Structure formats: structure tokens, C-alpha cells
């Protein structure tokens, strides 16, 4: 009885999350043959890619929500700081002093910046 040598294989992983669908697929090829372990490792790599897509989707969705109310929060923060500056220094609370310190930083608006473009923040993904 002869042994079958698998020279090519394809693996596919599909996930659904929050009414969105994520799919990763890859083809594996080795002219000398593929072991079941190599095919399984390919499947795991596809699963990692699909999981990464879901995690990035979650982060992008959160950032979009934060971005939608970021303009309001920025205007509110600036308005509060202007009111605090009208108070005598001795009457300011610790939180108010901290807010003013952040406001006086020339880059204070960046705390309301919620941009995200699916950056590869997962260095653990390996193939």
C-alpha cells in the first residue's frame, strides 16, 4: 500500500463578530510533501490573523465612538479651564490645578485625538 504525499493544502478560517465577518485563508505548498503538523500550523496562523482582525475591529469601533464625542469633550475641557483661570489660585482644587497644567501644555488637544488606522500593534503574530 502506498502512502499519499500531500504537496499542497489550503486552510481557511472564518469568524463572525458583531454582524461583521472576517476571513483569512492561505495555501501551503511543499514539493516534498506537507505533514499534518505543518498544515495545522498554517491553520493556526490563519486563526491568528482572523483573531487579529476582530481585535482591530473592536479597537477601531471604540476609537470611532471616542472620536464622535471628542470634539464636544475638547470644547468642554477648554471651557472648564477658562472658568478655572478666572478663580484665584488659592481657591483652585487639586483637580483644577491638574486640568490647568494639562491645558497649558501646548499639545493639550492631542488627548482628544482618537485616530486609528488598523496599526499593527500585535507584535506576537508569527507565521
Q: Where are the domains of the chain?
A: 8-112
Q: Does residue 104 register a pLDDT over 50? A: yes
For 49-59, what is each residue's pLDDT tens digit? 999 999 999 99
| All three cell numbers of 112 | 482628544
Determine the pLDDT at residue 126.
53
Determine the pLDDT at residue 2.
66
Q: Does residue 42 register a pLDDT over 80? A: yes
Determine the pLDDT at residue 46.
94
Q: Does residue 37 register a pLDDT over 90? A: yes
Confidence of residue 122 (pLDDT cuts 50, 70, 90): low
pTM above 0.75, yes or no: no
The chain-wide mean pLDDT, for the chain, equals: 86
Task: Classify the phi-psi angles of 10: left when phi > 0, otherwise alpha if psi is within -120 to 50, otherwise beta.
Answer: beta
CA atoms in the 13 A half-sphere facing the CB of 19: 1
More confidently predicted of 125 and 94:
94
Amino acid at each position: 500500500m502506498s502512502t499519499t504525499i500531500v504537496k499542497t493544502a489550503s486552510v481557511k478560517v472564518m469568524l463572525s463578530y458583531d454582524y461583521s465577518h472576517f476571513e483569512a485563508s492561505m495555501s501551503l505548498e511543499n514539493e516534498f510533501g506537507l505533514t499534518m503538523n505543518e498544515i495545522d500550523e498554517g491553520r493556526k496562523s490563519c486563526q491568528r490573523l482572523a483573531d487579529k482582525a476582530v481585535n482591530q475591529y473592536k479597537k477601531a469601533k471604540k476609537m470611532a465612538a471616542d472620536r464622535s464625542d471628542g470634539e464636544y469633550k475638547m470644547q468642554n475641557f477648554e471651557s472648564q479651564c477658562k472658568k478655572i483661570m478666572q478663580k484665584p489660585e488659592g481657591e483652585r482644587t487639586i483637580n483644577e490645578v491638574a486640568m490647568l497644567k494639562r491645558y497649558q501644555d501646548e499639545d493639550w488637544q492631542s488627548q482628544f485625538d482618537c485616530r486609528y488606522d488598523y496599526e499593527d500593534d500585535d507584535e506576537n503574530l508569527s507565521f
